[in-house]
Structure 1
Amino acid sequence: MTSSRPFNPNDYPVVIGIDFGTTFSGCSYSFVHNDEVVDIVKWPKQNNNVYPKTPTLNFYQGSSNQMAHWGNAARLEMLRPTARNSVLLKQYKLYLDENIAKDLPPLPNGLTIVDAIADYLHAFHEHVVSELRKGFARNYGQHQFRYCLTVPAMWSDRAKSTMREAAIKAGLIEENDHRDRLMLISEPEAAALYCEKKCEQYNLGHNDQFMICDAGGGTVDLIVFRIDERSGRKLKEWTKGHGQSCGSVFLDRRMRKLLKKKFKEYLSSIPASAFETMMDTFVDLIKPQFDGVEDQFISLPAAMNLESLNNPAIGLEDGTLCISAAELKQEVFEPVIKEVLALIEDQLMKAGSMQAIFLVGGFGSSNYLFDRVMEDFGSRVGLVAVPPRCELAVVRGAVYFGLNPRIVTTRIPRYWYGIDTTTSFEEGIDPPNYKIVRADGSVRCDNRFSVYVWRGRPLDIDNCMSKDFFAYYPHHTTCTLYAADTEEQPRYITSPGVRKVANFTIPMPELTGVMEGEKVDLSIKMYFGEVELRVEAVIRGKTYGTTCTFDTD
């Protein structure tokens, strides 16, 4: 067991930000000494002037569990006739959202979610390193790179831990590297850092509040930040951020449904590739620029195999399908956009007042979303804006965070965190089966939830909760951490909504002059103000890292 050694950022002159997204992934980097952020815009098998990110896709040949292609190459491979029985893995990041994962089928080819993410990140990272080598980074070795990965704000501690595990398996960092060599930051927080950098043109100052609405492929995340200029410019998270899986892939799903409804009598004869071509038109052309006013047209691919190129009942004329703006609004856009507007309303109510709303992310650049946010909130908020290159806001912000991890000073926890303790028994309140009568006659209540962190109460990033325990030498100590996202503080670890988060094992170090069975005092320190949970143990004045097993129920 190693004691926690201090981290030296100067060992890592290159900071790499990675935005692993549901539909697209991106990367930017910077050299510590000059602060300029550079985007990776060249991706394999891809026309690079369309979009600066690459698809999050893995291709597996047949039933193999060895990834053969990734990114746009995976998409192209799937179009070949030889790919008939192969697997194109997409939108698998949603498996880390526990609310959705329970309804998803198991991954194919015996893959686990860690395998899938690690396969992709490994290939993605190799390409990034080769791009860096072409530039000024050729003077540095890979051991001098430091990473900042973005994660949705609504992810659980377990999902974040899975992401770290996948990054290690992908070879970004080594298992025994200092944990700060790989940092995680929440996506809206990264976007906030980017928008704050661009704030000069928006004229936001001390105590002003702004909302980030980070609308991506899978998730929409919102957080309100307050600017604090008392000692340099810092950001404080002002509301307990909120997110939902209502990103733009849900527009795609509704569009697919609408097309299937229109072509229902031809479905048996239309090849899948023709359907995908129509969907590509929607994703690339209609979705980003749809304004809710103009009707939209899709030219049918030649492979549709239709007997006639006209069918007025579904809007088909001379091989072109017309879909009215009203129909697109009602069937595709409004149901998803309404969810986003409800999320914004909720954050606005909590924050009280707001100087600006910034829309970022791929879906954040949708014209229709902007118009609807303006319509509903333009009169209540001074500014609704889409910052330049908003689809890169998250990944550029990740680099800013890597360069200055202390720029966000306060975060708001989304859960109650606590451990299992016994406290004095209260007759008439505590259940009789939780009653313990000790040898000294004292009456205690078992299974009580002892709060470490209060949900919704602002936490300083250095906030450390320390509790004292003891162990008998040379036995290890284990401590179970529980969490709940209930409105009320839970009384018991068995209360509704309370779940086990993790078991922490504090291995007993070798201590000289200590007899077997002797009592050793130790403190367990938990840091909750960072993006990831961090736990340390202090034994006889020395600090040790702990091993943590996340619960997998």
Structure 2
Amino acid sequence: MPALQPYSGSVRKLVLGIDVGTTYSGIAYAILDPGEVPIIHGVTRFPGQESAAGDSKIPSILYYNPDGSVACAGAEAALPGMDLEAEDNELVFVEWFKLHLRPERLDAGEIKRRDLPPLPRGKTVVDVFADFLAYLFRCAKRYICETHANGDSLWSSLEDRIEFVLSHPNGWEGAQQGKMRQAAVMAGLVPQTPAGQARVHFITEGEASLNFCIQSGLTNETMRAGQSVMIVDAGGGTVDISSYGFISVSPLAVEEVTSADCILQGSTRINARAEAHLKELLKESAFGNDEDIKSMLDYFDKATKPVFKDEKESSYIKFGSMGCNDPKVKIRRGQLMLTGEDMLSYFQPSLDATVSVIEKQRKNATRTLSTVFLVGGFAASPWLYASLKHRLEDLDLTLCRPDSHTNKAVANGAVCFFLEHFVSARVMKMTYGIKVVVDYDPADPEHLQRAANTYMRQSGRVVVRDAFSSILKKGMRVRETEEVSQPYVQEAHDSRTLDSVVTDIVAYRGPGADPRWMDLTPELFTPLCTVAADTSRVARVTRQGPKGVYYEQHFNVVLLCGLTELQAQISWTEDGIERRGPAKIVYDDDLEASQ
């Protein structure tokens, strides 16, 4: 188990790791004193959860008042009698809100946005995310103030120097990170300034779980140079699967050995399939009303689902009273019997999808994988663990499940990420590039068939539209400090139009790594973000073209891609020296339109 290094910063800081999960959330933190080795703590006391002190997770749920303000959240929203209070005061219940943030293309065949519990009227997913972040932040403040000596003065000395690390599923991209940063500002975690927003960092749930496993000593047996491990983080909304190789042990250096995956097959899908089945089963029964089905699903989630372990046995859902009977649908004395086949139909798709991705990663990994760690809340399922263990034995993979099911893994691993960057290289999941024009070559058959899609530039060059220039290729391993650049040439009759550049970074999501043309499969190319930069300081050369004088400008767009968040700069040469300037990345707001 690698020891954390003494904090090398010059001023005292607080780092908060916040894991907003689909069903449960957690918080971890470390106080950073210059020269001292940090200790990572979990927040283990939450309002409304005093009877379960020591628990490091709370439900990701809220109640809203009719005026749109938050009535209560977390464990307080799950207290006995809250449903009656909600009915009396017309409160609106919100759960699974995190899934509204997901990219549309992620597992689109499995879940549609309309299938999710709705957001309150007038609220966006960012609004709800911000409200819940604000609640978690208050919980963290209260816990630190109550737990540490002179806690109030400690907090007031640190509250302007808090670094936040927010975790998200492997499948979330820059647009989702942008929404989460926006929510952090709305929640009052940081001010809406460049310096404030720079205090918000991101890490994937898969990498955070790896950090936790390393820091907790869980990977000691496999942590030898040349060995590799897979992390399967099975949560409420997603199953995140990542594979890593240990390049060296001292100092510890870890690299992704294949690109990470994310599937929407977490434990909430079990609930969704159970709900669909119950509605169909009970449509002719007196107990097929919304109230009884809600009561059944609540019991299923809390009592039936967690203990299911064997499809040879029947499972039961308690609801109503002893007088509730309907033999036709196996309801007797207030209990609905589910066969092993019924339960299997809820669970099996999640297992099959997870095994399919594990097989894919094992096949594509650049190093041999032998050990799989199963973490996350869904990992506690005895059926999932036993079934996955059996399936993986056929693949010569050993499955390990930490005793605690590592509910706190992601929040702790997020703090660890801020302190120690164990993962030094990540594998690109898709190809990033830009739409370009290329010089027309009539001898090239691909150019010839696009002869109608050509035009003449100011220089007199004839160019073909819809070409694609790859900057970062799928499967490419990128180190944290690595950057890639793309040279640009701009031409214009009016010099002033060269004072800025705006270009779309396009993601190619097809099977290949280096496509040449965007017009062949346009549906596989999606805008990832827009890079905008001030090029007014970049030199321009005066040229003579067939239509008179024009201006030409050369520069590079630089992408820094080895981190957990895409960053961009612009570079140019001035008097033989490379100059750099900031470039702003703007993500398309495609969330509201797709509600």
Structure 2-normalised TM-score? 0.82
Question: Counterpart in 1 of 2:532?
Answer: 505
Question: Matches of 1:205 and 1:168 in 2, distance apart?
Answer: 42
Q: Which moved further from structure 2: 502-511 or 524-533?
A: 502-511
Q: Is it true that 1:337 corresponds to 2:348 in the alignment?
A: no
Paired residue for 1:155? 172
Contact in 2 for aligned 1:211/1:225 (Cα 8 Å): yes
Per-residue Cα deviation, 1:40-88 (whole angstroms, up to 9, x for no partner): 12222234259521122232223x3333322233345444363574422
Matched, 1:530 2:563: yes
Question: Which residue is equivalent to 2:305?
Answer: 287
Change in CA separation of 1:485 and 1:400 when aligned onto 2, cut-off 3 Å: same
Once the two structures are superposed, the pairs formed by residues 134-533 of structure 1 within 5 Å of their partners are 134-136=146-148, 138=152, 139=154, 140-178=157-195, 179-197=197-215, 198-199=217-218, 201-229=220-248, 232-267=251-286, 270=289, 272=291, 274-292=292-310, 293-302=312-321, 308-329=323-344, 331-351=345-365, 353-381=368-396, 383-389=398-404, 390-404=406-420, 406-427=421-442, 428-430=445-447, 431-438=450-457, 441-469=460-488, 472=495, 475-488=499-512, 489-494=514-519, 495-496=521-522, 497-507=524-534, 522-533=555-566
**Does residue 90 in structure 1 map to residue 90 in structure 2?**
no
CA 327–470 in structure 1, closer or farther in 2 if over 3 Å, else same: closer
Of stretches 85-94 and 274-283 in structure 1, the one that deviates more from structure 2 is 274-283
Letter in 2 for 1:366: S
Alpha-carbon distance, 1:552 to partner = 3.2
Query: Secondary structure of the residue that 1:381 maps to in structure 2?
Result: coil
C-alpha separation in 2, matches of 1:153 and 1:175: 26
2:24 is aligned to: 24
Distance 1:176 1:509 in 2: 24
Q: 2:265·2:353 contact (CA, 8 Å) conserved in 1?
A: yes
1:94-149 deviation line (CA, Å, top 9, x unaligned) = 12222368932474322122112111111221221221222336424211211111
One-letter amino acid of the structure 2 residue matched with residue 504 of structure 1: V
1:103 lines up with 2:112 in the alignment: yes
Provide the rounded CA distance (Å) in 1 between the counterparts of 2:452 and 2:183: 43
Tell me the SS of whatever aligns to 1:429: helix
Q: CA deviation at 1:195?
A: 1.6
Corresponding residue number in structure 1 for 2:52: 48
In the superposition, relative to structure 1, how do residues 318 and 527 fare at CA in structure 2: closer, same or farther (>3 Å)? same
1:114 matched to 2:122? The reply is no
Deviation at 1:464, TM superposition (A): 0.7
Give the unaligned 5+ runs of structure 2.
1-7, 539-549, 591-595
Check if 1:548 corresponds to 2:588.
no
Structure 1 vs Structure 2: percent identity of aligned residues?
Answer: 24
Could you tell me how far apart the structure 2 residues matched to 1:447 and 1:551 are?
A: 21
Contact 2:12 2:158 in 1 (8 A): no
Distance 2:68 2:473 in 1: 43
Provide closer, same or farther for how the CA distance between residues 182 and 104 of structure 1 changes in structure 2, counting only shifts above 3 A: same
How far, CA to CA, are the matches of 1:400 and 1:467 in structure 2?
34
Q: Which deviates more from structure 2 when the two are superposed, residues 530-539 or residues 19-28?
A: 530-539
Deviates more, 1:189-198 or 1:319-328: 319-328
Q: Specify the alignment match of 2:3 in structure 1.
A: none
Cα deviation, residue 418, structure 1: 1.0
Q: Distance in 2 between matches of 1:211 and 1:443?
A: 50
SS at match of 1:348: helix
Rounded Cα–Cα distance in structure 2 between residues aligned with 1:519 and 1:350? 44
Distance 1:132 1:419, change over 3 A: same
From 4, 22, 39, give the equivalent of 1:36: 39
Q: Which amino acid aligns with 1:477?
A: V
* Alpha carbons of structure 1 residues 165 and 326: separation in structure 2 relative to 1, 3 Å: same
Q: Secondary structure in 2 aligned to 1:127? A: helix
Pair 1:85–1:490, CA change in 2 (3 A): farther
Q: CA RMSD in A?
A: 3.0
Q: Matched residues in 2 for 1:262 and 1:279: separation?
A: 14
The answer on whether the counterparts of 1:12 and 1:145 sit within 8 Å (CA) in structure 2 is no
For residues 415 and 103 of structure 1, the distance between their equivalents in structure 2, rounded to whole angstroms, comes to 23
Write out per-residue CA displacement over residues 253-287 of structure 1, whole angstroms, 9 at most, x where no aligned residue.
12223333444344567562x54443233222332
Q: CA offset at residue 384 of structure 1? A: 0.7
- The DSSP-based 3-state class of the residue aligned with 1:546 is strand
1:514 alignment counterpart: none
Per the TM alignment, residue 477 of structure 1 is displaced from its structure 2 partner at its CA by: 2.3
1:284-343 Cα offsets, whole Å, 9 max, x none, are 2332232114433333234xxx8x4344443333333333334312x3222322222222
2:335 and 2:204 map into 1 onto residues whose CA distance is 43
Amino acid at match of 1:19: D
Aligned residue pairs: how many?
Answer: 536
The TM-score normalised by the length of structure 1 is 0.88
**In 2 relative to 1, CA 502–415 (structure 1 residues): closer, same or farther, beyond 3 Å?**
same
**Residue aligning to 2:74:** 71
Any conservation in 2 of the 1:482–1:493 contact (CA below 8 Å)?
Answer: no
State how far apart, in whole Å, the 2-side matches of 1:73 and 1:552 are: 33
The CA distance in 1 between the partners of 2:563 and 2:26, in whole Å, is 23
Deviation at 1:469, TM superposition (A): 4.6
CA contact (8 A) 1:354 1:381 kept: no
